[in-house]
Amino acid sequence: MPRRRAELPVMTTIAITDPGILPDDLPPDLEIAGLSLIDRIARMCLVSGVSTVVIVSDARWSASFLSDALSSATRRRGEVHIVDSEQVSELLRDLKPGCVLALPADRVFQRAVVQRAVERCKAGRSGEQLGLAEHQLYGIASSSVRDWKSDWSALRGATPSSSDARTTEGWSLRLSSPADIARAEDALFNDCRKPQDGVVSRYLNRHLSLSMSRALVATPIGPNHISVVTFSLGIAAALAAGVGGYAAFLVAGILYQLNSVIDGVDGELARVRYEFSVLGEWLDTVSDDLSDLLLYIGLGVGAWRTLDFGLATPGPDIWLYLGLAAGAGKLASMIVYYRWLIARGRGDLLAFEWSFKAEEASPSPLKRALALLHYAFRKDFIVFVAMLMAIGGVLPYLLVVLAPGNVIVAISVVLQQLRGQR
């Protein structure tokens, strides 16, 4: 593989892994959740702050074999080198890294463990000072290096641990036989559960989406493909809602719930296969928001067209006004937090800093109310209620709550940003 030495930054972090420690029944190309053992280590390091990954070849696992064990996307990256063990010290002298991190090839790591190791290694910590010996992670700070060859030999000779490790930093699992693959996959997929998952997501949606992700993880289908599918479901739900009538509203409610379930799959695939990208974040965020916006408008149109669902006193036009109000509130919020995300080079709405979430000694009544609404009525809950309302034949009445609610949220977001600009 070509070396792009001239493009490396002054302070670099090198990660080294040696597949030579793997037993014969755990070859480097053995797949775990869609990625080979060696590909998983390389990708995880590169998304955790590592500048360059060095994979050590030997007589048993040749450079060509290890290269074939990497995915084409990983092979195309100039940050991955495959070298003979005798060439490691020379490569390190050439690259002049700020620190070197040694990772055992027979472990599956929670990403947070490697991220913490990189942070501590960059801070100048070495060896046991990393505080991650239980995970068999060792580092060398360049300032303490006297002889790369002897230091690398010492790291290679470190006594491996035969046990798993679970610390405050996270977990790592030791692979001793193919029977451990299923255990590692369970741990990786379980990490896709988020602390901020709402009650419906935690007890229903996440179970369904994880089953789908497990079925898709070893296929060419990627997170961005899933985002296209969820947006298509959102459009279909909005079109069905716009038709009006019980059957159409029922179809809309079911499609909306299916959209919510599958919406978790793209993020799960990205986390398990380390396929993070700003484009992927934006595709997920925009498809999610536009699906909501179109559904609100579709509901208003469908209810207006279906006299049986009209509010008797104000007349059927009230549904159009409610749908437009819900859509307008959603659009106003989108414009504000999209500008915030663009300014910070992000595309994930979870990165948006809501003012009512900030810890304050005496939050205002409005902030307390917004915080309560935010935690009590997450989208997964609203979507599930929408499906139940569709089954009960009263789906349009969701707009009675969403129209004023979206307007209030939009006003609070705009005010938050205006105060932040002062």
* 102-112 pLDDT per residue, tens: 888 999 999 99
Q: How far apart are CA 146 and CA 391, in angstroms?
A: 72
Alpha helices by DSSP H, 313-397: 317-343, 365-376, 379-391
pLDDT for 7 equals 43
pLDDT in tens, 77-98: 778 999 988 788 788 778 777 7
- CA dist 127 to 8, 11, 91, 141, 164, Å? 24, 19, 20, 9, 19
Question: If we measure between CA atoms, which residue out of 402, 398, 400, 396 comes closest to residue 306?
Answer: 396
Q: Which domains are delineated in the chain? A: 5-177 (3.90.550), 199-420 (1.20.120.1760)
Mean pLDDT calculated for residue range 219-243: 96
* Residue with token string 């915080």: 371
Question: If we measure between CA atoms, which residue out of 14, 63, 10 comes closest to residue 38?
Answer: 63
pLDDT in tens, 113-134: 999 988 888 777 776 678 888 8
Mean pLDDT of the chain: 84
Q: How far apart are CA 418 and CA 258, in angstroms?
A: 37
The vertex-413 CA angle with 408 and 414, nearest 5°, equals 100
- CA dist 21 to 28, 158, 195, 347, Å? 10, 11, 36, 40
Residue 36 corresponds to which amino acid? S
Residue 206 corresponds to which amino acid? R
Alpha helices by DSSP H, 167-245: 180-190, 199-200, 206-216, 223-243
pLDDT band, very low/low/confident/very high, at 156 (cuts 50, 70, 90) = low
pLDDT: which is higher, 313 or 416: 416
pLDDT for 8 equals 37
Dihedral angle sign, alpha carbons of residues 284, 290, 291, 293: positive
pLDDT band, very low/low/confident/very high, at 3 (cuts 50, 70, 90) = very low
Provide the whole-model pTM: 0.86
Q: How far apart are CA 44 and CA 115, in angstroms?
A: 9
- CA dist 215 to 168, 224, 268, 275, Å? 31, 16, 12, 17
